[in-house]
Structure 1
Amino acid sequence: MTGFDEYAALVRELTARQRGGEQAVAAEAERRRGLHAAADQLGQRLAAQGQRLDQLGRAIGGSAPVSVPEGTPAVPALTSPGAAPPAGTGAGATGGAAAAPGRPEVEAYPEGTVPSPRAPEPDPVAELAGARQLADEADRYGQQAEAIAHRPTLLPTWSPAARAVAVYAACALVGSVLMLGAALSPANQAIGLGPVLAVTCTGIPLLSFLAGHLILGRWGRPVLGDGPPSSRYVPLGFVICALLSPSLYCAVLVVARLA
């Protein structure tokens, strides 16, 4: 092989290595652009989650801002390839005789100044994956909180009609007990049983209906509701309270007479 052939072979090898280096640099730049885009997307997602949690807190009644719990990894900061090393590390730091071999004027490390070994740098891909997993968990818990907030506090698994019937029936039962207590009160001897029965048979069922109506309005509606307010079944509640309370009262009187 002549000298020109060796020179041409060396030129081809140098060109191939240069091309491979350029491809490696381009691949690294593309990887960093992808990491930056993923970090920006994750940051926007976390910001949207924070705004939604603030809205939920204000709707429920809380006023404290949402804080990031301790231990939550932040979105990793991606540095450029040409960034300078931190102060006190790398080539710019004076490391004693070990950092300047052959220079007798540089002494060994003074006592107590030997630098500790540097911790390995975190992997941006792993950090982004961990942060994305935590964001997925936050989305899942947020959806559960919204589902709970869209259900009423009182009997949340019941249908609106069944809830209204249960509330009005319970209020009517309490009203019948009050009617029985009023009928057996010693004041009946002075006033007379007729006026007492007239008042109790009209006033107590009305009070039972109003109590059920207020209970459904306070605890029978969801904490968060974008649509119209749920029905309180006013005609049904009035019928239940108007018929159930006197019926129970009469049944108790009949049983007491027969006994």
Structure 2
Amino acid sequence: MADYDEYAAAVRQLSTRIREGGSGAAAEAERRRALSAGVDQLGQRLAAQEQRLDQLGAAAGLSPVVDAADRGPAADRAPGSGPASVAGRDIAATAGASAAGRDAAATVGASAAGRDAAATVGADGDADGDPAVALAQARRLVDEADRLGGRAEALARRPALLPTWSPTARAVAVYLGCAATGALAMLALVVANGSGLVDGVTLGALTCAGLPLISFVTGWLVLGRWGRPALAGADASRFAPLGFVICALLLPSTYCVVLLLVRFLG
């Protein structure tokens, strides 16, 4: 009877261990599936980042620093070909390059390398640490790369000249500055006319037509060169009618004011 009790206890213990082992195996399988799904999701996000950076680089007219031939072998590597820490370094390189903004196209290669390195955080685990921790770190880096990429894109859509101003205010400021410069040139011509160096016909022609046209063309060129965002397709209007009105009205008005002052003071 004692032998039977011992046998029954051993059977129960073995059954318990079998159930525990089955439960552990199921939990491990579920953990591996979760890790694999996380890696796939990161790979998709990095692929989307790479595609968007390609588009931004092409729109800004920038050529990638890393050629396709240089990043080709990285794209052909199978998952598990490197340690999970490589994912963090490559994704961080992508984030840093995105923050630079002006070299956004250069992050294409880093993004491709990061995508392949992220795949190394596979379901088989990481010999140097917990793969779940490495995957979480990679996800944080990808989130940071998204944030910096959005910031770089926003900066690339702002012109170098008065970037925080609205397009209309920027155009008004540029045309007013050019018209003011033309007004100073007109005052110099008035002084030269009083000294007999410039005749009245030349002064009138420059004041009514020459200087306004020169001021308008100068403002139009300045807005085209420094008032245009790096990304093509963004708002780069030069407000030509507004600029022409400003330059055509300000200079002759200034000339009339100068004539009145000279007459009253004289």
For Structure 1 versus Structure 2, the TM-score category normalised by the shorter chain is: 0.7 to 0.9
User: What residue identity is the alignment partner of 2:25?
Assistant: V
C-alpha distance 56-194 of structure 1, shift in aligned 2 (>3 A): same
CA distance in 1, matches of 2:197, 2:7: 131
User: What residue identity is the alignment partner of 1:140?
Assistant: R
Q: Find the counterpart in structure 2 of residue 198 from structure 1.
A: 205
C-alpha distance 158-80 of structure 1, shift in aligned 2 (>3 A): closer
| TM-score, reference length from structure 1 | 0.72
Higher helix share: 2
CA distance in 1, matches of 2:218, 2:121: 59
Contact 1:183 1:193 in 2 (8 A): no
CA distance in 2, matches of 1:169, 1:17: 86
User: What residue identity is the alignment partner of 1:245?
Assistant: L
* Structure 1 counterpart of 2:244, from 215, 234, 238: 238
SS of 1:170's equivalent? helix
The CA deviation at 1:218 is 2.8
CA distance in 2, matches of 1:80, 1:221: 51
**Larger C-alpha radius of gyration, 1 or 2?**
1
Q: Find the counterpart in structure 2 of residue 6 from structure 1.
A: 6
* Structure 2 counterpart of 1:78, from 117, 122, 133: 122
Give per-residue Cα distances to partners, 1:13-66, cap 9 Å, x unaligned.
211111111111121111111111111211221222122223222322321232
C-alpha distance 253-186 of structure 1, shift in aligned 2 (>3 A): closer
Q: Find the counterpart in structure 2 of residue 109 from structure 1.
A: none
Give per-residue Cα distances to partners, 1:108-159, cap 9 Å, x unaligned.
xxxxxxxxxxxx7221111111111111111111111111122222212222
- Please list every run of 5 or more consecutive structure 1 residues that lacks an aligned counterpart in the other structure: 82-119
Give per-residue Cα distances to partners, 1:52-107, cap 9 Å, x unaligned.
223222322321232439xx8942443649xxxxxxxxxxxxxxxxxxxxxxxxxx
Q: Find the counterpart in structure 2 of residue 18 from structure 1.
A: 18
CA RMSD of aligned residues (A): 3.0
1:90-239 alignment, distance < 5 Å: 121-185=128-192, 189=196, 192-224=199-231, 226=233, 229-239=235-245
SS of 2:192's equivalent? coil
SS of 1:68's equivalent? helix
Contact 1:46 1:135 in 2 (8 A): yes
C-alpha distance 55-187 of structure 1, shift in aligned 2 (>3 A): farther
How many percent of aligned residue pairs carry the same amino acid? 55
Contact 1:154 1:220 in 2 (8 A): yes
CA distance in 2, matches of 1:226, 1:57: 13
C-alpha distance 50-178 of structure 1, shift in aligned 2 (>3 A): same
Number of matched residues?
219
The CA deviation at 1:252 is 4.1
CA distance in 1, matches of 2:236, 2:124: 57
* Structure 2 counterpart of 1:68, from 107, 110, 117: 110
Q: Find the counterpart in structure 2 of residue 53 from structure 1.
A: 53
C-alpha distance 191-158 of structure 1, shift in aligned 2 (>3 A): closer
Give per-residue Cα distances to partners, 1:217-257, cap 9 Å, x unaligned.
33223322546x54433332222111111222343455566
C-alpha distance 5-250 of structure 1, shift in aligned 2 (>3 A): same
Q: Find the counterpart in structure 1 of residue 74 from structure 2.
A: none
The CA deviation at 1:160 is 2.0
CA distance in 2, matches of 1:68, 1:9: 60
CA distance in 2, matches of 1:198, 1:48: 59
SS of 1:185's equivalent? helix
Contact 2:216 2:247 in 1 (8 A): yes
Q: Find the counterpart in structure 1 of residue 30 from structure 2.
A: 30
